[in-house]
Structure 1
Amino acid sequence: MEERTMDRRSDRWPGAAEVAQWTDKYFSRTADVVRRFGDVTVTYAVFMRRPVLFAPRLALDWLKNVAAERGTPVDITPLYKESEWVGAGEPMVYLTGSFAALSELETLFLQKLGACCVAAYNAFHMCMDLPTVAFLAMDARHCAGTEMADLMAYAASVGGQRARRKGDAKGFVGNATDATAHYFGQDEGRGTMPHSLIGYAGSTLRAAEMFHETHPEVDLIVLVDYFGQEITDALAVCRRFPELAAEGKLGMRLDTHGGRFVEGLDTQTSYSVLERNAREAIRGYRSETELRYLIGTGVSAAALWHMRETLDRAGFPAVRLIASSGFSPAKCRVMAYAKAPVDVIGTGSYLPENWNETYATADIISYNGEARVKVGREFLLRARE
């Protein structure tokens, strides 16, 4: 039992022995009723109420695994290929098998499907808005446990893969943890330093030195907002590591929170920066939120242009810019029309931006071959015709 409970990958957990503990009680009691009065073969239509990308692999693998463990075969008919676009209300997959068996599996199957499909959709659109930017899935610490982290990393990889095919985008190239790096074709997670390392070192430059001494083989990506001296500290690190800077192995990560401007900026100077570099963006914003992304506090488009201008003037044009902090799909769209000079974006908490949109739904549409569905869901029958 100890070995079973330690393996919490989404395509394996819960195992057959744990299903009854984690399914909705009305489904397990329904299974009891059906076993008593006679099982039937049913077909479920699984759908979502909003457009998504089809990201079913973990859910389907789990279903196959647990069905095999329980000795209750399920006929699975996906209607789309992984990463294909699915419209709101369109069945994504049909599941046919024993009513008693499938009833107990519905809760867990839907848990593993809905959030992945929405997160993949969001990841795809982020990547398409910024095709020249590489994305990192930094969602792990925002997830509700390791199983969700597994689901979100997989979803980001699906969205990124579609963006590479459809828009020649760089897409999601990695993530934060070793356990889920395989979804991106990597052996380990990516990342260098959190703010706590800079606090420990006592200065941004010293933290960079300590990190490079410990991990000389890893590109040096330095957080520069800890002391509110993004420009000063970035230049100090560049001057300390000129060879890394010239080779493109040095990067500055802007993670400035929304309570203040990046060093050297205020509202007026932010306007001036964008007037020089992306005049059309400042004339084309459509909401106060978009304006804030352009010239506001935190990691704005103006902040990125300000850092890029500073590094270029100082003779460090090959130093990369990494941006994080609040990069939702909406913020990525604004960065796109501001032509923000960013090389990598770290995002995660916004992959499923609105959690109430992530719910997958399943309805039975056939009992022993007889078409039957609750009133209001007749469209599921038409979809199968």
Structure 2
Amino acid sequence: MSMSAMSEKEFELKRQGKITRLTNRTFKFDPRVKSGWFSAVYFLKTAEIIKQKRPKQRVTMQFFQKKEAILCGIDEAIALLHSFATNPGELKICALHDGDKISPFETVLTIEGYYEDFGYLEGIIDGVLARRTSVATHVYNVVQAAGDKQVIFMGDRDDHFSQQAGDGYAAYIGGAAAQATHAMNEWWGKAGVGTMPHALIQLFDGDLIKACEAYVATFPQDNLVALVDYHNDVIADSLKVARHFGDKLYGVRVDTAANMVDQYFLNNRHEFGREDLRGTNVRLIRLLREHLDQAGFPNVKIIVSGGFDADKIRQFQQQNAPVDSYGVGSSLLKVNIGFTGDCVLLNGKAQAKEGRQYNDNPRLSQVEFPLI
């Protein structure tokens, strides 16, 4: 089943609120979902038993989780149902929207229909909602911690590449529109952003100036952001590249490893004892800003990356660290919000395992088929 990315027109209509859901044309699903390849075997056995012994039983399945969170994955789950459920138009689906703030145990999605038509998709829907909501919530928390500073989603190296499109969409829902790969932008119609890795400098024998010159010559339309921690001498290299490129230098990125102490501190031992000087730290960034300003480069922006999460960003913000953008990766991809799907009504009457019951949510809206 081949499905194209969301068109620019669809993206703009959704941004304006003129359409409220993405469609099954947005997502790329493995066609083996239909055969049950990705479903737990007990769901497949249950569907077969019901077909033979108790067909046409109308159930209501509801989904919830247990934290304060930013919901994501709803549109994907609906598209999944539309693509693989039997007779999807006969299902009654009510749902919240991607981007909604949700509470513990709040019902986010209900599906009403014959069990054998959709029941085998329960675990897949749980997984979709769990991953997308976890990423969206982590990104939202980071964006809130960063305030008016830009957050760049750099999660390409922290998980399997096949997850990038969905993770990128979830990051967008969480509030991060600047993302590292084109695939991350696939579902919502934009393009990846980025400048240089350490490998580019290495390929020019460690010569940062030559690497930057090659970058400018090859991508003259881009903003030049120099990666300045290659020699573990952030301030000296930032000043060197700023003096060489002048107004052509847009910014510098600091990505000092957590076990390293920058050369500036090794040359200025009186700095030791004030705070932890390893990695990309507030003191280093403050000194970098001071040196750039004193040298006549107040417009050069500072981007930081390496081990940032909501707590570390919050610490930087509380200390008024002169950061313009935060690059964040691995901390955003931890799946720690699990969803549960339960069948709670049978033919319109309460029937569920002990401790679970139908939990009506007036915030849900019914999904109309066919989708756009």
- Shorter chain as normaliser: what TM range? 0.7 to 0.9
Counterparts of 1:145 and 1:238, CA distance in 2? 35
Task: Give yes or no for contact 1:134–1:173 (8 Å, CA) kept in 2.
Answer: no
CA drift at 1:181: 2.3
**Aligned match of 2:152:** 136
| 1:184 to 1:35, Cα distance in 2 relative to 1, 3 A | closer
Amino acid at match of 1:51: E
Question: In the alignment, does 2:188 pair up with 1:197?
Answer: no
What's 2:366 paired with? none
Q: Residue 325 of structure 2: which of 333, 344, 369 is its match? A: 344
Alpha-carbon separation, structure 1, partners of 2:169 and 2:237: 35
Structure 2 counterpart of 1:257, one-letter code: A
Residue 173 of structure 2 aligns to which amino acid in structure 1?
V
Structure 2 gaps of 5+ residues are 4-24, 363-372
Partners of 1:184 and 1:269 in 2: CA distance: 46
Aligned length: 336
- Report matched runs for 1:1-385 at 5 Å: 11-15=27-31, 18-39=34-55, 40-55=57-72, 56-67=74-85, 70-73=86-89, 74-78=91-95, 80-146=96-162, 148-160=163-175, 172-181=176-185, 186=190, 188-202=191-205, 203-245=207-249, 250-265=250-265, 269=271, 295-353=276-334, 355=335, 357-378=336-357, 381-383=358-360
User: Is contact 2:106–2:361 with CA below 8 Å preserved after alignment?
Assistant: no
Q: Is the 8 A contact 2:61 2:341 kept in 1?
A: yes
Q: Give CA deviations for 1:24-79 in whole Å, capped at 9, x if unaligned.
A: 11111111111111221111110112221111222222222333xx434432101x
Structure 1 residue aligned with 2:15: none
Match of 1:165 in 2: none
Aligned residues of 2:171 and 2:177 also touching (Cα < 8 A) = no
Q: 1:103 to 1:139 in 2, by over 3 A?
A: same
Question: Partner amino acid for 2:354?
Answer: V
Cα offset, 1:118, TM superposition: 1.9
Q: Deviations over 1:84-103 (max 9, x none)?
A: 21111211111112211222
> Judging changes above 3 Å, is the alpha-carbon distance between structure 1 residues 258 and 75 closer, same or farther for their aligned structure 2 residues?
same
Give the CA deviation at 1:18. Answer: 4.5
Match of 1:167 in 2: none
For 1:32, the aligned partner's letter is: E
Aligned partner letter, 1:192: T
Separation of aligned partners in 2, 1:327 and 1:236: 26
Q: Hey, what does 1:284 align to over in structure 2? A: none
Aligned equivalents of 1:30, 1:329: Cα separation in 2? 43
Which is richer in helix? 1
Contact 1:12–1:65 (CA under 8 A) maintained in structure 2: no
Q: Deviations over 1:182-204 (max 9, x none)?
A: 56653x20001111111111222
| Aligned amino acid, residue 59 of structure 2 | V
**SS where residue 222 of structure 2 aligns?**
coil
Q: Residue 343 and residue 269 in structure 1: after superposition, are their counterparts in 2 closer, same or farther (change >3 A)?
A: same
Are the counterparts in 2 of residues 157 and 183 from structure 1 also a CA contact under 8 Å?
Answer: no
Q: How far 1:15 sits from its partner (Å)?
A: 2.7
Structure 1's consecutive aligned runs of 4 or more residues displaced over 4 angstroms after TM superposition are 16-19, 182-185, 382-385
Q: Which runs of 5+ in 1 are unaligned?
A: 161-171, 273-293
Contact 2:168–2:179 (Cα < 8 Å) also in 1: yes
Q: Identity of paired residues, percent?
A: 27
Distance across 2 between alignment mates of 1:115 and 1:306: 39
Q: Sort the Cα spacing of 1:19 and 1:195 in 2 relative to 1 into closer, same or farther, 3 A.
A: farther
| Alpha-carbon distance, 1:252 to partner | 0.6
- Given that 1:42 and 1:97 are in contact with CA atoms closer than 8 Å, whether structure 2 keeps it comes out as yes
Report the Cα distance in structure 2 between the residues aligned to 1:319 and 1:384, rounded to whole angstroms: 50
CA contact (8 A) 1:10 1:59 kept: no
Change over 3 Å in CA distance of 1:221–1:118 after alignment to 2: same
Contact 2:137 2:174 in 1 (8 A): yes
Instruction: Report if the CA contact (8 A) 2:165-2:186 is conserved.
Output: no
The 1:28–1:220 alpha-carbon spacing in structure 2 relative to 1, beyond 3 Å, is same
Tell me, in whole angstroms, the C-alpha distance in 1 between the residues paired with 2:265 and 2:143.
28
In structure 2, the CA distance between the partners of 1:21 and 1:77, relative to structure 1 (3 Å rule), is same
Once residues 123 and 64 of structure 1 are traced to their aligned partners in structure 2, the CA distance between those partners, rounded to angstroms, is 28
Q: What is the distance in 1 between the residues matched to 2:174 and 2:305?
A: 19
Give the CA deviation at 1:270: 6.5
In structure 1, the residue matched to 2:21 is: none
Query: What is the CA distance between 1:142 and its match in structure 2?
Result: 1.3
| SS state at 1:315 partner | coil
Structure 1 distance, partners of 2:233, 2:98, is 45
